[in-house]
Structure formats: structure tokens, C-alpha cells
Structure 1
Amino acid sequence: MTLLNEADAITPPVREELGPLRSRLRDIGLGIRFGAFGGREGWIRNALTATGVGLGVALLLMAASLPQIMSAREDRLHARTQNWETATERIERSDSTVVWLNVSTEYRDNVIGGRLLRADGDRPALPPGVDRMPGPGEMLVSPALADLLASPDGSSLADGRLDYRVVGVIGEAGLIDPGERFFYAGSSTLTAESGGERSDGYGRSRMAMGPVDPMLTALATLISVVLLAPVAVFIGTSVRFCGDRRDGRLAALRLIGADSRTIRRIAVGESLFGSALGLAVGVATFAVARLFAGSVRIWGLSAFPSDVVPAPALGGLILLAVPVVSVVVTLVTLRSVLIEPLGVVRRSAPRRRRLWWRLVLPSAGVLVLLTAERTVTPGYTTGIVHPLPLAGGAILVLLGVTALFPWVVDAVVSRLRGGPVSWQLAVRGLQLRGGSAGRAVSGILVAVAGAIALQMVFAGMHDASRQSVGNSPMWGRVDISAGYPSSELAARMNHELRRTPGVSEAIGFVRSWVRPSARPADQPPHVSEEQWPAASLVVADCPVLRKLARIGACADGDTFIVNNSWSQSETDWLERAARDGDRLTLSGGGPRTGPGAGAEPDAWRLPSGTRTVKAPPGSGVSWEYEGIYATPGALDPARLTEGATTALVTSDENVPHAHDHIRDTASRLDPMLQVWTVRMPERDQKYASIHNGLLAGATGTMALIAVSMLVSQIEQLRERRRLLPVLVAFGTRRSTLARSLLWQTALPVALGTVVAVAGGLVLGVVMLRLTGKPMVDWWMFLPVSATAVGVILLVTVLSLPALWRMMRPDGLRTE
């Protein structure tokens, strides 16, 4: 007994004696039985629907896990952050305190975080993920850093900057993510006086974070919309797989007495079973994929599997939305189908599609984005962004693109006449079944439009960053600093760094601060000494000072006041101090570091013959080191109790790994030296990675939707399996039918690509205006469009075997 006969033998689908609610539930249950026990064809349909819905659900669950992933990263970072001294809270030395120093570095554009540690006592506070304190010359490393040091690429790093003996591995609790490269190294010479900080534990107080970068918020919002909108469209398309077969079965149910309402409820039950199966597949796929989260690294980020957990609200919304979408899509689909006892009649003359509301959607989206423009300040780290209007505007624009596409297809196809036989067959097929082709292409439209908009925004950000940083006088500069003043170290820096490959220039000097010893006349009594004006003090020989400012004639024993147009107030009190013979307190400002930190500050009188000079425009140091310049003959650097030893290094970017050579030299001079770089290669690499990632993501989304197109194409061929042999029997060439299949696939995608490119350009221009970034290239949509063309060819080629099989003469037996 077949399923249909079994249903007929049980009871008619609707019984009057049943209550309305029980009757509806019974109909839905019958549809679920059809979905579960529909035979071979039913399970093929279920497999296709479950695969499509499952992939979409897995992607949505991954996206819903991002809040938990970012929260876990922040918690781990907070947990391993050292407690440090503040102006109001001092940490006294004890058996549990530890002196630490940030010794993070870079190696071939890889960021390597690190801390140098020295315990003050026998019971030091241990960072998370660590069960012992590394001794002098020892190191605890993360698994990713251990792999790098053991590889041939990391041999020079292991033999140079990180020449420590590895004695352990940092646990998961001490790492931000599985791919982080991090280490803890022990030291016997690190002290608070040599630049270290004293800590009595970890994670006591969360670091105050600044406002979220508005550009980051805007981009994250746009990325979320662009990546998730095609998935939602794909899920909506997946629940329509094999819809024609379902309609045939529903017509048979009409033959045994079911009315139209009962038919719709049965169809809803069948779609619910497919969506539930898709949910199960999606949850299982997500559960397996999260196990490999640590091995996947995107833009330098990865996650522990334990962190990949959907937010409860978002996860519940996804599990609820998929069945709702399946029900809504099924009911909307049945509106265009007339299911009668003797067969299925599709409306051959559908109602004319109206244009006005399809234009309202993108127009409203653009209006929302333009209204939200006031919430973003073009500055990179200022301004407030409200994600809701950004997301809403982007979604409206993308939905408008999807809604406009069917109207464009109908408007174009209805006006096409004549042409080769293959062209006429394709056009007639689109005129009769344009809706099914449009549904499959709609997902590609969203992916293409969103990818184009994202590429435009990222390209504008990249270009603006290159212009601002690339034109900076600090371009290519490396700053190396020790947390204590030492003329001997400055001399060694000048000597060793200038001999380092990739170094064009090196300037080493001692830097400290000065402040008036007595209250200045313009300072009110209520102003504390810490608020008195302070000035930078640079001590170096004449050749070095000439590279920092236009000092002119110079001899040992000279002093200079260096000012800029925006620092005239500071220059005024320095000039008065030199004129009036006022005494200045050495190391009167800045951090309390250095071998003499804590000692009574020394007093020094600025010579009355001190000249005021200007720093050369574009020197890159005028705004950092304005103040007093002194030669060793005028001020012995040994008198400085606080300050730093600094080297400004200009690198030659044409030398391979120039920055690695500089860092190696700095490590040989003193492992505690801090190195900062001002350059673009890693930023360029990140933007290139983002650009490639967007293209790869768009390609992956299109490949996912190509599966939907392929299934839809095969289903259309199966509908015409009786017609195709007849056409061949009447002399139609097989190549003509193959070309008609190509045109029938290519024409909607070509029209959709045009609509998507227009929508993507509009969204991209509005987002660029919103973020204050320039338009770089109007032709960046070509790679994405070329990918869409590739999808057309792929779907056509993969559907050809089914076409050849259905054109065989044995198909005439059914006629």
C-alpha cells in the first residue's frame, strides 16, 4: 500500500466531527508524515532541503557565536593583565610581587606578545595558564609560538631575540585565542628602576577602554548584514526545493476529498518536517565545525572551541525563525499555484509586477543611511555610531535590490522577440517560469551587492590611511627606547644601529624633563606643583642635535630652546627662565624611572645665552621633542635621575626584513628595550587579506547558491522530461537545447548582476560618505561580477548530464 492509499484508507483529511484546532493539527501532522515517509523521491527532497537549510543554519549559528567569542577574548585579556601602580595606589615589594616589562615584538609581520618577569620573593603571583615562574634564561611559550620557534622560519627568532630555554607551555586560560603567539621570560636584572613595573597580581581592575572606533562599528555592522543576508535568502530558497513534486502530490490529495485549506496545511506540515531536518543538520554541522575553530585563523583571529557558543537570544531566534520562514515561503508559493483534483495549474499570466514599492525599499535605505551620517565623525577614533540605523539602512538597500530584480527580468524578457531557436526556447521558458529562476539568483544579488559595497569601503579606508600615514614625516621610522637615561647606551645605539642592515639613519640621545623649581609668576596659588609647566629635555652631542633641529653653530657646552608655532606658551616660560636665571628641577615631569628614581631631584640653571631655534618642518620629531636641547658639556647626563634613552631609526623598506634586523640589534643591546614602528606593510597586508577574504566569502556564498541554482535547474528539466524527447524527435538538435539551457541560466544572472552592481555601488558610495572616506575605484566590481559569470557556466555545465539523459528517446514512452 502506498502512502497515498494509506492516507485514503485512514480517514479523509478533514472531518467535521473533529474540532477546528484538532483538524488543523491533524492536517499538519499528515504533512509531516508525507515528509517523513514519502519514499525515495521524498527523501531526495528532504536531503536537498536539509543540506541547504543546514548550511545556512550552521553559518547563522557561527555568526551568533561572535558575541561570546569576543567576550571570552576580553575576559582572558583582562584576567592576565597585571595590576600596576597608580598615582594614588602604590604596590609595595613583598614575597608575592613581581616586576614585569612588556617585551612584545614583531617577527616578519607576526605580532608576538611577551612579558619579562622577575619575582621579588618566593611566592610570586602567577599569570593565568602558568603553573610556575620562569627562571632567568627560561621561557614559557604558547603552542603557536612553540610551533613557530621549532619551524625553519622561526630559527633566527629562536637564536636571536627569544634565545631562552623553553621550559613549559602556557595553558588555554592564559591565551586570547589558540593562534596567539605569546611568551613569559624570566630575568635576573629587571628592576623597577630599569623600566619595569611592580605588580601584586592579575585582573584586579579592568582596564578602562576608550570609545569603540566608529569605523570598526560601521564596518562590523555592514559585514554582518552582507554576510548574513544571502544566508537568509538561501534558506528561503532551500525550502522550495522540489516544490513541483509536492504540488503533484497535493493534487492527488484533492482527488480524494481534501479542500484547498487542508492542502495548504498539509504543505505547511511537509515544509516543517524539512526545516526541522535542516535545523538538525545545521546544529550537527555547527557542533562539528566548532571543534576545528582553533585551527582556522581569519585576519589573525581564531577561537577556542569552548568559546564558540551562540548567544542564547540569537540562537533561540535562529531556531524559531527557520520554521517560520519555511511556513511563510510555502504559503506564499502556493498563492501562485492552483491545485485541482486533476492536476496543478500555474498562473501563466501572473499579475503585473508593480514598480513603485520596489523603489521605495532602496530609497528608504539610502535615506536612513544619510540620516545616520550625523552619528559618525570622519575622524578615525572619534564619534558615535548607532549600529541599528546602519544595519537597517543596509538591509533595506539589499532587500530593494532583491525586490527590484523580478521586475527587471519581467520587463526585459517580455520585450524580447525573435533570435535563434535556442534563444527563443530560453526566452519562452523565462516568460513562463521566470519566478523560479529569479528566486535562485536573488541570493547571488545580495552577495554581489554587499561584497561590492564592502570592497569600496575597505578600499576607501585603505587609501585614506595610506595618504595620512604615508605622507607622515615619521614614515618608515622605528623608535627604540629604554626606561632609564644612559649616555653610554645612547652611544652604543648610535654605533650598533648604524651598522645594522636596513638602517638608513640612527639618532640616539637621552631624554628627560624639567620643571620650574619655584612657582612661576603666572601660576595661581591653588595650582599644585605637578601642574606647573614642564618641558622636554634632550641631551646629546652636536651632530645628533643638528639632526633633530636647526641649531646652527654648536659646540660642547651649548644649550638651545626648540619650539614650534603651536608651543609658544611653553617657549615663553623657558625663555624667561634663561633670561632671569631661574633654576629648573631636572626630571621634573614624566615617569619616575631610571637608576636614580626616588632620589631627590637635582636643580639646574638654564644658561642665559641659550638660543631659541626651530625644528625643521617635516622632521617628524618637532612635536615630540620640543623643549630644551643640551650638550653633555652643559649638562652631564649622569645628573638625570629619571628619563629614557631613545634612538630614532629610519629604515630602508627596500631591504628584506629590515625591521627584523633592527629588532635583533635592539635585543642584543638590551633585551628590555622597547621598539615601536611607524610603517604600512602589515596594514597593507591586513587590507589585502580583508580584500581577498571578502572576495573569497562572496565566492563561497555564490558557490552555496550555485547548489540551489543547480537543483532548481535539474528540477525544471525533470518537469520537461516529457517535452525534451518530443523536441528531439521532431528534429531539434541537442546542442540547441543545451544552448537554450545556457541562455535560460545566463540571462537572469546577467540582469541580476547589473542590478546588484548598481545597488552595491549606491550602498558603497553612501557608506563612504557616511565614514568620510574617498572613492578609490569605480571598477572594483569586476572581480565579483566575473565570479557570477563563472557560477553561470558552472551550473550550466553540471546540469548538462541531466539534460542529455532526459533527451533520450525512451522518454517518449510516457507520451
Structure 2
Amino acid sequence: MSKLQTWFRDLGMGARFAFAGGRAGWTRTLLTGIGVALGVALLLVTSAVPSALAARDARSDARQTHTSPTAEQPGRDTLLTLDANQSYRSYGVDGRFVQPEGPDAPLPPGVKKFPGPGELVVSPALDRLMKTGEGRLLRDRLDGKIVATIGESGLVGPGDLYFYAGSDRLTELQKAAPGYVKRVTAFENTLRKEGLDPVLTLLVVLTFVALLMPVAVFIGAAVRFGGDRRDRRLAALRLVGADGRMVRRIAAGEAAAGSLIGLALGTGFFLGARRLAPAMDLYQRSVFPSDLNPAPWLAALIALAVPAAAVAVTLFALRGVVIEPLGVVRTTTPRKRRIWWRLLLPLAGLGLLAPMIGMGNDSGQFNQWQVSGGVVLLLVGITVLLPWVLERVVGRIGGAGPVSWQLAARRLQLTSGSSARLVNGIAVAVAGAIALQMLFASTEDSYTRDTGQDPTRAAISVMQRSDGGGEAVAQALTGTKGVTQAVALSSTNAGRTLDMSYSDKAISVTTGTCDALKEVAELPSCKDGDVFVLTGAPDPGGMTGDTARPGEKLFAGNIRKENEGEGAQPVAWTVPADARTVPARKSPTGTMETGLLATPAAAPKGMGGYQSSWVYVKLDPKVPDAMELARNATFKADPLSVPMTLQATEVNDRYASIRTGLFVGAALVLMLIGASLLVSQLEQLRERRQLLSALVAFGTKRTTLSFSVLWQTALPIGLGLALATVVGLALGTVLMQMAGAPIRFNWSSVLTMVGIGAGVSLAVTLLSLPLLLRLMRPDGLRTE
């Protein structure tokens, strides 16, 4: 018989033992399968993330008009469209106004019929939100009649909040302000996003590595469930004539069978999670079930790697076990674990990362494989160092202390390796989380921009896209509950001649009431009819920045002859001789106006649509939902206006998305950690059933045994978290130096990560107590 046939025969025999070993064999195989299945399910979900993101991006591009073909004049196939993105509490509610100009106007994806004026086509998620109490104020704002819902092809995800509103005002606005309204003949977007900079790429790579490493550790631990009982069965096989190599192959076959069960169960878990995907909406990120399609090569890799890893781990675990016909000789009084080779892994990891220290965003992209390899080696170093640390610590524990402590210490001294395997996954997860938190904290300043805005002076700045709408919006807001002040400003360009070219700088003329002008200038006194000359503002560049003197004659409005139509001619205006010079002041949006300020009575008249206007809105923080009430009043006064929430700082969108992805992935990994740890704990308790029953039969109190189990869990977890903290801090320091960021130890985040790990472990221990109490019955002494 060839070697290959021998291997297949012995592996097949091991598989039969996994399924034909009675209730105990089935239980052991099922526990192994569940442990592997949890890891496989998360691996499949992770492998499906690229396809899900690609599908979301494709649907998002399909409804955009960034690079859509346009037309100069109305036609049978033209559509006027205008963005109408909204904000509602913590939600982003996107949408657009649409006005078809012909029977063949392009329909947006997922829409069967255009909404008419006053009608809405909304996404199912938006429809549900507006029908709830939470969406009451949003329903007041978007008060059009809902005539249809958007299909899946027009939605980024099932939780997408999107709408199309019919309008009959876009033709008028397109003539007055053509820069806002687009006339398109199709929906498409071929613009490609810029690639991630090196530090963001580093964050993405590290997030995947740190989240997947605990999964690999748990799968490796799961295939070793029931190791003691398995070795005793293998000893029986030696008694009937099997040699040492044969029993190892049989053990590998048994582990492979358990991993195949895990693959099947994991695929089932993944398919179940896939069907539940629409119900999961984290930070307004959601996916359709059809989006979660792992790449075939990744699915095949998982299907091949998991059984192969199970066989490799089993053979590696048996390297220190001598299986004889009359029993198992495990290195019970073993040689002490050696430290030298265990230090090689983290040192090799540091060696891979060291050449990239200081690169940051200025020295090209990081080598992703080198980064991944270095981080993996450092995190794997925890799994090989923890058994050595645990062995050294428990080996020094004497006989002092309560009985529960002595029982726990003795058990750990006998099986420190299995106890270390129990917490390896938690230690790896905590170390990776600490390093990532440190890197995110140190790089946050680089991706957080100071906007210069002052939310204490105005909570909202409303930009008008229609002619002369600023005063109307300000009046509507003035009587709104929660609004303490609403002032409108408008601006137009003026010049000294009627034939100004685009290379000539214009003079900005800003008009508003005295209260409004005080937001952009330091006014000693003011009354209607005053005009002011601004000084002190930096040259803004572009087409404005010039100024004028008192008594100078100017032309205001359409000074560049953009439109020769009716009402488009510039008007003559003379700066009053008594105009005073005043210093400019930063506006609530952080800008500084230049040129001239004029109160309504002294401002130029009859300029048509050649002026822009905006409104600064101040809110009463004591009024609940003041922000939403102000947005509603703005939308009702002028649906085409754009309210912008002012904030002092702004976080880069891509950085925020990566951080959100980390939180979502961490939540999934934490669930895996808890579930896998519970399965591991239950398996270890089942292995010790007879021992626990014997101790109870000899009079040991149940509370004593319960506390001993708690100590057996708490001590390895405490050591594992301590080691994870050291490795996490070291890895985080190296990563910060690689990113060129200042070294910053965020101790609150470190303690939070450690606390979460300890909390998960404590919860698992408490959940295992019912089984522990049931196993401490005298009938546990029965055997077959």
C-alpha cells in the first residue's frame, strides 16, 4: 500500500471515530464543529466585505450625476435635477429635486415614475422612519405626498435614507442660477475616488489583521477540544496493534472531521447572518443579502485552509505526547518551556516593521505584506509567550490560601497549556485593539480639520439658491420656536466699468440689516442708510478682493455680462460720501468679508438675480429639537435652500469610515470571542466531569468548586491581559512611529480594552456556572 493510500485510510478511520464514538464522541465533535464554525462564519463575512462595498459603490454611482451627459437646451430626453441633501438628528437624509422636461427624461435607478410637484418617492427605510414617532419632525419637513418607494437598484443599502422630490421651480432656478441645477440626459458617475494615503492604507491593513488574528487563534484552539480523552482512545488503538505514526494520522483525521463539520455549520451560520443583514444598520451602513458574496477564490481558500490547519495543529499538539499501549505519557513533569524560541517571533515581527519607521505620508506606500507579516508575528508571539508566563507564575504558587485557590493552582500547574489556549484569543484581540486605538488616537489630529466656524455665534448657516430668498427665510425663522436670532446677508459684485473682464478683481458689496452686518464687521454704530468700507481682511484671491472709496461711482450686478437677457444689466451706484471705514470681523463660518457693507436703504437696487444670500441662525440650546425645528422652517420657506450645520472641527470622511469599520468589526469579533470562549469553557468542564463529581462525593462544597473554577479562569485571563497590554503598547508605539505621528499613550482607551476583555471573560464564566452545578452531581461518577 502506498504512503498516500495509508494516509487516506488512517484519516478516514479517524473521521469514523469522530462520528461513531457514542454520545461522548458526538458531543466532542459537535463542540469542535461549533468552535470552528464561529470562526469560519466570521471569515466568510470578512471575505464578503470587498464585494459588498463594491456593490454599494456601484449603486451609489448609478444614481449620481457628477459625470452625466448634459444638454444646453430642454429636449425630449432632458431632466433638471438639484441636490437636496438633508440632515435629521444623527441621520443623513440624502435626496434630490427632479423636473422632467420631456417624455424620455432618464428615470433614476429604482424609480418607475417621476414624482410630480409636491410628491415624493422615498426609500423604504425613509418611509418607515417618517411613520414613527422619531421621524415626526422629518415628516413635517418632507410633507409631500409619498407616491412610491425606491427599488433596490436605486439604494446604497436597505437602511439608505433617500428621496426624490418633484418640483416645478427648477426651470426658473436654472435660468437665474445655472450653476446649481444640472440638465442631464442620463444618470452616471465615472469619477474614481482617489486612493488612500499611506497612513489610511496602514489603518485598513491593521484593522483586518487585528480583527482576523483572534479568529485564527480560536479555530486553532477549537480543533484541540477533547484532547485528553482522544489520547486515551489512541492508547487503546496502540494496544490492538497501531503504531505511533498511525495513531497520529488517526488523530489528524478526527480533527479534520470536526473541522469539516465546522465548515458546514459555519457556512450555515454565514447564510443565516446573510439573510439577517438588512436588519443590521450600524452608523447608517447596511447591505443587502445579495451583496455578501465572498470571492470564489477566498471561499475556496477558507474551505481548504481550515481542515489543513486542523490537521497541522493536531500533529503539532501531539509532538510532546508519547502514546503507549497501556496509557498516555504526557510530559507531566515536563521540561520547563524554553523561552528563547518564543522570543524569536515578536523580535522577527519588530524586525519587519522597523525599516518602515518614520515613513508617514511622505515616503510612499507601506509594504502591505511586510506590515501584515510583522503584526501577525507580534500577535502570534502572545500565543507562544503566554504558556511560558503562565507556567512560571503558577509554578511558584505554594500551598497557602483557601481550598478553592489551592484546587485552582494545582489544576493550572497540571494543565497550564490548555488554560493558556482558553485565553489566547482574548489576549490577541485586546493587544490588537490597544495598538489600533493608540494609532487612531495619534493620527486623529492629522485627519481632523479646524473649520474656523463658531457654533456659539450661529448654529446654522443657510445658503440660498433662489433669488432674494434670504430675507424670507430669516423672517420665517424669526418666529420659529428655539430660534433666538436669524439675520440675512446678501452679496453682489461691483466694478468701476461696464466691461470688466474675468481677470479684473471685483468689489464685493454685502447688504444686510445692522444686526446682520455686525456679524461680519466691528461697527461702532449703525442705522439704516449707512455704508461701510471694510479693512483688515486678507485678499481672498479669485475674482473679488478690490475695494472702493467714499463718493466713487460703481456698477453693481451683472458686471461681467454673463447674461444679456432682461433684468440682467448692471446698475449704477455711488458709494455715499459719508461711508465710514470699519475693520472686518470673522463671520460665524470663519470667513472675512472684503469690499463694502451697505444697509438696505443705501444698497444698490434692481440687480435682478445677480446676488447671493445667506442666513445665520442662532438657537436656544434649552429648547428640545431646536435644530430640527429650524431646518423644517427653512425647508418650508425655501425648499431649495441649503442649511449647513456649523461645527468647530471636521473629521476626514475616509478616516471616519475606517474607524466605523473598526467598530463594526470589533463588535463582531467580541461576539465571536464570547461565544468561542463559552464553548471552550463548557468543553473543559465536560472533560472534568468525573473529577468534579468525585470531589463533591468526598465532601467538597459546591461553592468551593465554583470559586476554584473562577480562579482557574481569572488567573490565566489576568496574565493574558497583562501580556496583551505590554505587546499592544509596544506594537502601538512602533505603528505610531511608522505613521510619523507623535507617540501618545491613551491610557483610558487601554484600560477600556482591558476592561472589555475582562468583562467578556467574567460573563462567560457566569454563563458556565449552571453546567458546572449540574456536573457536580454524584451520578457523574458513572462511566462506560
TM range (shorter): 0.7 to 0.9
The answer as to whether partners of 2:11 and 2:253 remain within 8 angstroms in 1 is yes
Aligned pair partner of 1:404 in 376, 385, 402: 385
Corresponding residue of 1:73: 56
Q: Tell me, in whole angstroms, the C-alpha distance in 1 between the residues paired with 2:199 and 2:622.
A: 32
The amino acid across from 1:329 in the alignment is V
Asked whether 1:231 is paired with 2:200, we answer no
Shift of 1:106: 1.8
Corresponding residue of 2:155: 175
Corresponding residue of 1:661: 629
Q: What do residues 345-384 of structure 1 show as CA deviations (whole Å, max 9, x unaligned)? A: 1112334333344445445555656654545459xxx996
Corresponding residue of 1:293: 277
The amino acid across from 1:193 in the alignment is K
Asked whether 1:446 is paired with 2:428, we answer yes
The answer as to whether partners of 1:497 and 1:506 remain within 8 angstroms in 2 is yes
Corresponding residue of 2:84: 103
Q: What do residues 377-404 of structure 1 show as CA deviations (whole Å, max 9, x unaligned)? A: 59xxx99676555544443432233332
Asked whether 1:161 is paired with 2:130, we answer no
The answer as to whether partners of 2:119 and 2:165 remain within 8 angstroms in 1 is yes
Corresponding residue of 1:477: 459
The answer as to whether partners of 1:578 and 1:608 remain within 8 angstroms in 2 is no
Q: Tell me, in whole angstroms, the C-alpha distance in 2 between the residues paired with 1:110 and 1:118.
A: 26
Q: What do residues 573-610 of structure 1 show as CA deviations (whole Å, max 9, x unaligned)? A: 725x65997966745689x7xx9889866376774967
The answer as to whether partners of 2:80 and 2:100 remain within 8 angstroms in 1 is yes
Asked whether 1:355 is paired with 2:339, we answer yes
Shift of 1:45: 1.8
The answer as to whether partners of 1:82 and 1:199 remain within 8 angstroms in 2 is no
The answer as to whether partners of 1:248 and 1:344 remain within 8 angstroms in 2 is yes
Corresponding residue of 1:38: 21
Q: Tell me, in whole angstroms, the C-alpha distance in 2 between the residues paired with 1:623 and 1:798.
A: 59
1:596/1:412 CA distance change after superposition, 3 Å: farther
Asked whether 1:418 is paired with 2:389, we answer no
Aligned pair partner of 1:739 in 707, 711, 726: 707
1:56/1:408 CA distance change after superposition, 3 Å: same
Q: Tell me, in whole angstroms, the C-alpha distance in 2 between the residues paired with 1:373 and 1:563.
A: 48
Q: Tell me, in whole angstroms, the C-alpha distance in 2 between the residues paired with 1:473 and 1:288.
A: 46
1:727/1:307 CA distance change after superposition, 3 Å: closer
1:351/1:198 CA distance change after superposition, 3 Å: same
Corresponding residue of 1:549: 521
Give the 3-state SS of the residue equivalent to 1:479 in structure 2.
Answer: strand
Q: RMSD across aligned C-alpha pairs, in angstroms?
A: 4.0
The amino acid across from 1:263 in the alignment is V
Aligned pair partner of 1:134 in 98, 103, 115: 115
Corresponding residue of 2:719: 751
The amino acid across from 1:679 in the alignment is Q
Shift of 1:795: 4.8
Shift of 1:91: 3.5
The answer as to whether partners of 1:548 and 1:621 remain within 8 angstroms in 2 is no
Mean CA deviation greater in 363-372 or 307-316? 363-372
The answer as to whether partners of 1:512 and 1:640 remain within 8 angstroms in 2 is no
Q: Tell me, in whole angstroms, the C-alpha distance in 2 between the residues paired with 1:418 and 1:802.
A: 28
Q: Tell me, in whole angstroms, the C-alpha distance in 2 between the residues paired with 1:29 and 1:515.
A: 91
Q: What do residues 38-57 of structure 1 show as CA deviations (whole Å, max 9, x unaligned)? A: 33322212211111111111
Q: TM-score, normalised by structure 2?
A: 0.87
The answer as to whether partners of 2:473 and 2:638 remain within 8 angstroms in 1 is no
Q: Tell me, in whole angstroms, the C-alpha distance in 1 between the residues paired with 2:298 and 2:661.
A: 26
Q: Tell me, in whole angstroms, the C-alpha distance in 1 between the residues paired with 2:697 and 2:515.
A: 95
Mean CA deviation greater in 129-138 or 769-778? 769-778
1:263/1:604 CA distance change after superposition, 3 Å: farther
The answer as to whether partners of 1:698 and 1:784 remain within 8 angstroms in 2 is no
Corresponding residue of 1:306: 290
The answer as to whether partners of 1:482 and 1:673 remain within 8 angstroms in 2 is yes
Corresponding residue of 2:11: 28
Corresponding residue of 1:9: none
The amino acid across from 1:502 in the alignment is G
Shift of 1:653: 3.3
The amino acid across from 2:470 in the alignment is A
Asked whether 1:190 is paired with 2:170, we answer yes
Q: Tell me, in whole angstroms, the C-alpha distance in 2 between the residues paired with 1:430 and 1:738.
A: 15
The amino acid across from 2:319 in the alignment is R
Mean CA deviation greater in 122-131 or 200-209? 200-209
Matched positions, count = 773
Q: Tell me, in whole angstroms, the C-alpha distance in 2 between the residues paired with 1:241 and 1:465.
A: 46
Mean CA deviation greater in 761-770 or 174-183? 761-770
The answer as to whether partners of 1:365 and 1:396 remain within 8 angstroms in 2 is yes
Shift of 1:140: 0.7
Corresponding residue of 2:93: 112
Corresponding residue of 1:13: none
Q: Tell me, in whole angstroms, the C-alpha distance in 1 between the residues paired with 2:735 and 2:752.
A: 20
The amino acid across from 2:460 in the alignment is V
1:95/1:42 CA distance change after superposition, 3 Å: same
Q: Tell me, in whole angstroms, the C-alpha distance in 1 between the residues paired with 2:457 and 2:676.
A: 45
Q: Tell me, in whole angstroms, the C-alpha distance in 2 between the residues paired with 1:797 and 1:473.
A: 48
Shift of 1:765: 4.9
Corresponding residue of 2:671: 700
Corresponding residue of 2:748: 779
Q: What do residues 767-802 of structure 1 show as CA deviations (whole Å, max 9, x unaligned)? A: 566374785851344454444444554555555566
1:417/1:406 CA distance change after superposition, 3 Å: same
Q: Tell me, in whole angstroms, the C-alpha distance in 1 between the residues paired with 2:513 and 2:763.
A: 71
The amino acid across from 1:30 in the alignment is M
The answer as to whether partners of 1:564 and 1:615 remain within 8 angstroms in 2 is yes
Q: Which 5+ residue runs of structure 2 have no aligned equivalent?
A: none
Q: Tell me, in whole angstroms, the C-alpha distance in 2 between the residues paired with 1:624 and 1:210.
A: 31
The answer as to whether partners of 2:97 and 2:166 remain within 8 angstroms in 1 is yes
Give the 3-state SS of the residue equivalent to 1:419 in structure 2.
Answer: coil
Asked whether 1:567 is paired with 2:539, we answer yes
Give the 3-state SS of the residue equivalent to 2:645 in structure 1.
Answer: strand
Aligned pair partner of 2:604 in 636, 647, 668: 636
Give the 3-state SS of the residue equivalent to 1:135 in structure 2.
Answer: coil
1:652/1:390 CA distance change after superposition, 3 Å: farther
Q: What do residues 472-529 of structure 1 show as CA deviations (whole Å, max 9, x unaligned)? A: 567753111122441xx33223333233233343221112345786999xxxxxxxx5
Q: Tell me, in whole angstroms, the C-alpha distance in 2 between the residues paired with 1:58 and 1:363.
A: 32
Q: Tell me, in whole angstroms, the C-alpha distance in 2 between the residues paired with 1:568 and 1:661.
A: 34
Aligned pair partner of 1:649 in 613, 617, 623: 617
Aligned pair partner of 1:248 in 221, 228, 232: 232
Mean CA deviation greater in 704-713 or 410-419? 704-713
The answer as to whether partners of 1:537 and 1:630 remain within 8 angstroms in 2 is yes
The answer as to whether partners of 2:454 and 2:648 remain within 8 angstroms in 1 is no
Corresponding residue of 1:524: none
Q: What do residues 251-299 of structure 1 show as CA deviations (whole Å, max 9, x unaligned)? A: 2222222222222222222222111111111112211221111111112
The answer as to whether partners of 2:497 and 2:554 remain within 8 angstroms in 1 is yes
Shift of 1:811: 6.6
Asked whether 1:330 is paired with 2:298, we answer no
1:558/1:373 CA distance change after superposition, 3 Å: farther
Q: Tell me, in whole angstroms, the C-alpha distance in 1 between the residues paired with 2:458 and 2:343.
A: 50
Q: Tell me, in whole angstroms, the C-alpha distance in 2 between the residues paired with 1:601 and 1:409.
A: 86
The answer as to whether partners of 1:451 and 1:694 remain within 8 angstroms in 2 is no
Give the 3-state SS of the residue equivalent to 1:548 in structure 2.
Answer: coil
Aligned pair partner of 1:53 in 15, 36, 41: 36
Q: Tell me, in whole angstroms, the C-alpha distance in 1 between the residues paired with 2:479 and 2:502.
A: 41
The amino acid across from 1:538 in the alignment is T
The amino acid across from 2:34 in the alignment is T
Asked whether 1:497 is paired with 2:497, we answer no
The amino acid across from 1:82 in the alignment is T
Q: Tell me, in whole angstroms, the C-alpha distance in 1 between the residues paired with 2:549 and 2:458.
A: 36
Q: Tell me, in whole angstroms, the C-alpha distance in 1 between the residues paired with 2:148 and 2:183.
A: 22
Q: TM-score, normalised by structure 1?
A: 0.84
Aligned pair partner of 1:434 in 387, 401, 416: 416
Shift of 1:622: 5.5
